[in-house]
């Protein structure tokens, strides 16, 4: 499953957005990737997310493959667009 979203101001909405995003991704069995501007990273990689540089207004594509891919993409999407 793949979905493209525009990142909200996650720095303002979350205390530690990078660690929180990795924690969410790690709850799922599926392989989850986030892609933007030619960069593609594993959402379960803390170092990858740090290097990725998520910022407000950035368009990212979330992709997941596995038995819980729909739930994984939805959870990551909700986090990135700051929807509770």
d(CA 71, CA 14): 21
Q: What are the residues facing 64 on neighbouring strands?
A: 32
d(CA 35, CA 41): 6
Count how many residues are written for the chain.
Answer: 84
Q: Specify whether 14 is catalytic.
A: yes
The residue from 14, 31, 68, 82 that is catalytic is 14
Residues annotated catalytic, as ranges = 14
């Amino acid at each position: 499953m793949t979905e493209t979203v525009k990142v909200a101001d996650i720095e303002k909405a979350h205390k530690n957005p990078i660690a929180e995003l990795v924690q969410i991704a790690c709850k799922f069995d599926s392989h989850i990737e986030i892609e933007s501007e030619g960069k593609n990273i594993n959402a379960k990689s803390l170092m990858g997310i740090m290097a990725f540089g998520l910022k407000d207004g950035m368009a990212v594509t979330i992709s997941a493959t596995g038995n819980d891919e729909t739930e994984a993409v939805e959870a990551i999407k909700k986090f990135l667009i700051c929807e509770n």
